[in-house]
Amino acid sequence: MSSVNESDTFEKQVLTEHLRELRSCLIISFIAVFIGFCLSYTVIRPVGTFFFKPLTDVLPEGTSLIFTSYQEGFFFI
């Protein structure tokens, strides 16, 4: 069995190279999260309408849904 030095198997980088790689990964992650947020924000109203459709169909004429606590209004804007 040959003993291979573990430090020889990994690519050696200085600290600044590690920080540059970390920065680029964080920037890409933030951009991906922002794009996902924008896409989900554009479809929130049709999704909310789809889920509330059975409830709004059985409501009496001239009435609407109300929210009784602050956080309920943020579920479907």
Give the tens place of pLDDT for each residue, 35-69. Answer: 999 999 999 888 888 888 888 888 888 887 776 77
Contact 65, 55 (CB under 8 A): yes
Tokens at 25, concatenated: 């990964």
Say what the pLDDT of residue 38 is. 95
Give the tens place of pLDDT for each residue, 2-19. Answer: 455 555 545 677 888 889
Say what the pLDDT of residue 68 is. 73
The C-alpha angle with vertex 49 and arms to 47 and 53, in degrees rounded to 5, equals: 125
Tokens at 13, concatenated: 């980088």
pTM flag (> 0.85): no
